[in-house]
Amino acid sequence: MRVADQEAGPYGITTGPDGALWLTFVHNGRIARLTLDGELKEYPLDSPTCRPAIITPGPDGALWFTRSQDHRIGRITTDGEVDSFRLPTPDSGPFGITAGPDDAVWFTQMNADRIGRIANKGEISEFALPVAGGFPSAITTGADGALWFTLNQANAIGRITTEGDTAIHPLPTPNAAPVGIASDGTALWFVEIAAGQIGRISVDGEIREFPLPDRTAKPHAIVAVSTGDCWFTEWGANRIGHITAGGEITEYDLPSPASEPHGIALGPDGALWAALETGGVARVAP
């Protein structure tokens, strides 16, 4: 389904509390709401070059998103009221974002080696990581009540408690460059964009890696439907992939060539929805 032109760049996608899909248009600074019957409404942000990236439902019934170019956290209600909050650290590059276990929203700061926390009224805390140039990317809440995140350039998975205590788990494969991460309610699943693998890490830190049939597929984002049931995008191969708890992988080619699938979410209809940076969304019925 086409929702925009290539200049808009659909990138992040999530299901909102209103039963609609919400997307970021990374190239033209807009948030879009898409209903299951195809009705699309766009909300322009105050800066068309702010590069909204990842979007997530917050604990307050609004949608929260990162603005990676002007270093802000954005918030939009289901009625379309928009606000944003400037981060204390300049040029920090927020990217990943998730609802935390503590009624706050947590996010990564790619350029600053920090994890951030923002409360509903906009109060921001930042936690420095014990790495330099680690490029923290995606983040999610784990079954253990901590936040788990990928360190793209440090080649590791990180864990941070709500008090700010951190642990770093190096990956077995060198230079794997992890990006997306998701919790299946038991373990964490992540993608290795440079190694063409899917990884699994237990809350105790045990890591397994599963190579894709095409190691150049560049897996990008991942979502868990249930325990050991995950779906992911293959940005470099124009596919949507599925992996089971045992590592069995199935792949599905997208009809549109070179559509650049990025974000992926479980939709309100039980299907998987992916944002295509060339201007569309894809729906995969499991």
Q: Is 39 assigned to a binding site?
A: no
The pLDDT mean for the chain works out to 97
Q: Which two tokens stand for residue 45?
A: 């942000």
Q: Is the pTM of this model over 0.95?
A: yes
In this predicted structure, the answer to whether residue 48 has a pLDDT above a threshold of 80 is yes
How big is the chain, counted in residues?
286
Helix (H) / strand (E) containing 117: strand 114-118
- DSSP H or E stretch at residue 95: strand 94-99
Pair 9, 284: CB distance under 8 Å: no
Q: Is 248 annotated as a binding residue?
A: no
**Domains of the chain and any CATH numbers:** 10-284 (2.130.10.10)
Q: Dump pLDDT digits (tens) for 225-281.
A: 999 999 999 999 999 999 999 999 999 999 999 999 999 999 999 999 999 999 999
Q: What is the pLDDT of residues 61-86, one digit of tens each?
A: 999 999 999 999 999 999 999 999 99
* pLDDT in the model for residue 64: 98
d(CA 121, CA 123): 6
Q: Are 234 and 242 in contact (CB under 8 A)?
A: no
Is 220 annotated among the ligand-binding residues? yes
To the query of whether residue 242 is one of the catalytic residues in this protein, the response is no
Q: Which of 27, 71, 242, 262 is catalytic?
A: 262
